[in-house]
Amino acid sequence: MLNFLSSGNQKQIVGIALTPGIGLEAVVLDKNKSAILNYGRKKVEYNFSTREIQDYVQFKTSIVELMDEMKIPPKSPVYLVLPNVYFDFLEIPPMISNPEIKTAILSKAEEFYIFKRDEPVSGWCEIVNTEGGSQKKLAYASFQKSAVDEIKEIISDIGLQLIGIESAYSATLRGLFVAGFISDVVIEEASWTAMLINTNSYTLFQMDGKNLIDYSEVPLAIKSFSMEEAYQAIVSSSSQLLSNFSSTNLYIISQTDEICAEVLKRQLQFDREIIAIDSNKYSKKPLMEVMTATDFNATNSITLAAIGAACIKTDLNLTLNVLQDDPNASMGVYFTTNILGNNVEVTSGFIDKLTILIIALCAIVFGALIGLMYFIDSQAQNSISDLSSQIQSVDAQINAENQTEKKEEIDMNMVIDEVAALNVSTISFYDSIATDIPKNIWLTKYYNKAGNQIAVRGIAESIVDIYEYYKNLRIVSPQSDIKLTELKVVTEDSKTEEEDSVIKDLAIDKNSGRLYSFEISNTQIQFNQKNENEEGPNENDIITRPTGDIEQPSSQMRPTN
């Protein structure tokens, strides 16, 4: 899927950079491998006086030859980097609109001599102002509109797509990041300084992490000095400027054969780390691995500007594309994102392919849902058909049985009466436990088996109370043959453990009078006379009084009056 989204979308941006003394370079990056996939170079002259390409015919011919030698396909996106013409900062109110920004930049750029006779066209981006404040700070670069229009027409005639034109200043700083020189300081947000040396000037950029803070350009006709004088001139003029920058690292980038960055590094009085980068005859190896080149001898002097031209979106947010509002350059990269460990550039082509992919996935899901619904409906119809067949079969069996047997009518009232009659004695025996219990009687056990064999055991303070309770049971269940099967006086020697526990639990005052234990039953077997082979009460038939400390009889045991 990533291949589908990336294919065609990235047609590989061709970065083209024109550097005085080096020529016209073309770079195609392999960003996944952090290497230069393809590199080529042609000789093209630049006019420092007019600040534009010396010969546009030579420029066009060189591009055509480079694209042919590097096998760059037609309509490939091209991003062009030119020597700086005008670079500056602008502070504006935060809510100002783009047209107002253009007007403000135009007003300031027209003070430069080049733009007194030629209208400028500018690209800008917002940078972080570490001093804060209510103003928004912009960095911008401007080129002659006539030169930009000429370049656009040439690129269009060749059959390529021009997606941007930018200053070498911002492209060089971006190239430092792409080549891996400043990755650590950007992540650590440390302060650092870059010194870019060209044939007629050098420029210092003060950076704070990935943010451009300040810059100073010093004109210097290096070719008019001897070699030693050129080094001394740079050391002398840069000492004061460098002392004003609080940097941890200094990157010296030389793009002229007159100055070797390694030699200058040894002569500068800078007590922090200096990294020397040569893009000239002094360079011993390319700044990045080069996989394919039209001339490998030229790869040692690849410029950072050319590398930055081939990668226009990085964590170093500094891209000054003067075609940023041009609809014909809309193929440009919006941003770069990481998907499954792969860096993918989000462009209009990427968005188009992503839209197609989403529509295709939705169509597949919708089709799968329709198929699933059809399958479920088919299965349901089969189930309904099977059930209908079974119902018809059962109906046929019922009809057949109705033909041979008469439907028997059942009188439910008669059934209910029969059941009630069979259970009268059982219900009355169960009701006997709730019969009015005299005040001074305590029941200890109750036994009812099969609904017609009952036994009640208890303790009373008088025989009269026992007899009263016996009469009540007879009244409740007159059809029974219950009798008073046991009556004895409870003494200290004769009382059972159960009787002793009841006396203690219910706090019966045995000294106030006699206590009697009794048993009323219609079974020949008493609670204390059960033999191993005889029928009688067992643990599942006997309801025993509640255990525990109680001061009064429970509601089951206590008289109701």
If asked whether residues 226 and 351 sit together in one domain, one would say: no
- C-alpha angle with apex 73: 70 to 78, nearest 5 degrees? 80
Report the DSSP pairing between strands 46-47 and 52-53: antiparallel
Structural domain containing residue 366: 347-383
Give 439's DSSP letter.
T
Confirm whether 104 is domain-assigned. no
> Which residue, among 91, 98, 106, 172, has the nearest Cα to 144 in the 3D structure?
106
Cα separation, 448 vs 542, whole angstroms: 7
Domain count, the chain: 4
User: What pLDDT does residue 515 have?
Assistant: 84
Structure tokens at 70: 């590097």
If asked whether residues 158 and 278 sit together in one domain, one would say: no
If asked whether residues 437 and 510 sit together in one domain, one would say: yes
Confirm whether 359 is domain-assigned. yes
User: What pLDDT does residue 205 have?
Assistant: 94
If asked whether residues 278 and 292 sit together in one domain, one would say: no
Strand partners, 79: 15, 164
If asked whether residues 174 and 206 sit together in one domain, one would say: no
Burial of 142 (0-12, 13-18, 19+ CB in 10 A): buried
> Which residue, among 287, 292, 324, has the nearest Cα to 307 in the 3D structure?
287
Confirm whether 470 is domain-assigned. yes
Tell me how far CA of residue 336 lies from CA of 32, 135, 366, in angstroms. 12, 29, 32
> Which residue, among 173, 154, 6, 179, has the nearest Cα to 80 in the 3D structure?
154
User: What pLDDT does residue 387 have?
Assistant: 81
If asked whether residues 243 and 359 sit together in one domain, one would say: no
If asked whether residues 317 and 257 sit together in one domain, one would say: no
Tell me how far CA of residue 468 lies from CA of 230, 435, 473, in angstroms. 138, 11, 9
If asked whether residues 324 and 214 sit together in one domain, one would say: no
Strands (DSSP E) contained in 491-530 are 515-521
Confirm whether 403 is domain-assigned. no
Give 548's DSSP letter.
S
User: What pLDDT does residue 552 have?
Assistant: 39
**Residue type for position 397:** Q
| 3-state SS assignment for residue 413 | helix
Reading the chain (561 residues) residue by residue, the pLDDT tens digits are: 555 555 444 468 999 999 998 999 999 999 888 899 999 999 999 998 899 999 999 999 999 999 999 999 999 999 999 999 999 999 888 888 888 888 999 889 888 888 988 999 999 998 875 455 678 889 999 999 999 999 999 999 999 999 999 999 999 999 999 999 998 888 888 999 999 999 889 999 999 988 899 899 999 888 888 889 999 999 999 888 888 877 889 999 999 999 999 999 999 988 889 999 999 999 999 999 999 999 999 999 999 999 999 998 888 878 899 998 887 675 555 555 666 666 565 665 667 777 888 898 888 988 888 888 888 888 888 888 888 888 888 878 887 777 765 545 556 677 666 666 656 666 666 666 666 678 788 888 877 776 667 788 888 888 888 888 888 877 776 666 788 888 888 877 777 777 777 777 766 665 556 788 888 888 765 455 444 444 445 544 444 444 433 333 334 343 333
Dihedrals phi, psi of 261, to nearest 5 degrees: -60, -35
Confirm whether 137 is domain-assigned. no
User: What pLDDT does residue 18 have?
Assistant: 96
Confirm whether 400 is domain-assigned. no
Cα separation, 211 vs 68, whole angstroms: 38
If asked whether residues 221 and 319 sit together in one domain, one would say: no
If asked whether residues 294 and 315 sit together in one domain, one would say: yes
Structure tokens at 182: 């400043």
Q: What is the CA radius of gyration of the chain?
A: 54
**Residue type for position 231:** Y
If asked whether residues 278 and 293 sit together in one domain, one would say: no
User: What CATH code is carried by the domain that includes residue 233?
Assistant: 3.30.420.40
